């Protein structure tokens, strides 16, 4: 302690010598120092201020730079392939077979009650066969006109009719007195009764008779053929 006090006095004395011209405030300071020594000459040690730890200046925390959000790249929407449409093969509708309308064969007989012609020419006599396949025709009368020809007529075309051609000039030749106008039909002579050396049917009115059978038991129809010059 003594050593400390002396050191303090030396410091004070040195200060007094160096600052003899110092104002009274310094003397006051000396007195204060002495009072600080306790008045008994013992210097009270001056407490050394413990330097306060420097408060570190807070370092600014660097702001985190936000990472820019990546803009999503638009994904092309895949083009949808069109679903192939199944082609339906149209079912062919069968064409219905037309049912033929039954044709009314009509009544058998001549198409007219009288026919006219010229002696030496051909005369057509249309005949309806009706429901019969075959009918029998007689042209003339041996007793009345000295001429008579019988023939069977057959419908071969299915039209329920036969056109008979009377060749009035067939006598003395290879031609038949009666033939068919259509190739599909048939006229067949079954009997002939004519005057001797008759070359043609003369001017007269010839009866026409149509029968169901060759025996002439059932007559179907009758007409006349008149020949003129």
Are 166 and 172 a contacting pair, CB within 8 Å?
no
Selected residue with higher pLDDT from 198 and 139: 139
In CATH, the number for domain 109-228 is 2.60.40
Q: CA 25 to CA 196: how far, in whole Å?
A: 207
Q: CA 8 to CA 11: how far, in whole Å?
A: 5
Question: Which pTM does this prediction carry?
Answer: 0.56
> Is the pLDDT at 203 greater than 90, yes or no?
yes
Residue 150 confidence (pLDDT): 97
| Residues paired with residue 116 on neighbouring β-strands, in sequence order | 226
Residue 83 confidence (pLDDT): 66
Confidence band (pLDDT; 50, 70, 90) for 79?
A: low
Domain with CATH 2.60.40 in the chain: 109-228
In Å, how far from its chain's centre is CA 214?
66
160-175 pLDDT, tens digit each: 999 999 999 998 788 8
What is the mean pLDDT of the segment spanning 4-31? 56
What is the mean pLDDT of the segment spanning 100-113? 84
């Amino acid at each position: 302690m003594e050593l400390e006090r002396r050191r303090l006095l030396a410091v004070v004395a040195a200060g007094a010598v160096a600052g003899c011209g110092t104002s009274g405030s310094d003397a006051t300071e000396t007195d204060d120092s002495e009072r600080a020594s306790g008045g008994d000459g013992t210097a009270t040690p001056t407490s050394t201020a413990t330097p306060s730890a420097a408060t570190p200046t807070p370092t600014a925390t660097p702001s985190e730079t936000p990472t820019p959000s990546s803009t999503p790249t638009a994904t092309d929407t895949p083009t949808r392939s069109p679903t192939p449409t199944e082609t339906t093969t149209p079912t062919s509708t069968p064409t219905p077979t037309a049912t033929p309308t039954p044709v009314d064969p009509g009544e058998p007989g001549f198409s007219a009650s009288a026919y006219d012609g010229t002696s030496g020419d051909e005369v057509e006599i249309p005949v309806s066969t009706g429901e019969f396949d075959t009918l029998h025709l007689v042209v003339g009368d041996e007793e009345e006109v000295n001429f008579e020809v019988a023939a069977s007529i057959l419908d071969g075309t299915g039209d329920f009719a036969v056109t008979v051609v009377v060749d009035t000039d067939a006598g003395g030749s290879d031609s038949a007195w009666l033939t068919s106008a259509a190739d599909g039909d048939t006229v067949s002579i079954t009997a002939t009764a004519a005057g001797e050396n008759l070359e043609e049917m003369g001017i007269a009115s010839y009866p026409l008779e149509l029968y169901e059978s060759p025996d002439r038991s059932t007559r179907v129809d009758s007409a006349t053929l008149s020949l003129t010059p």
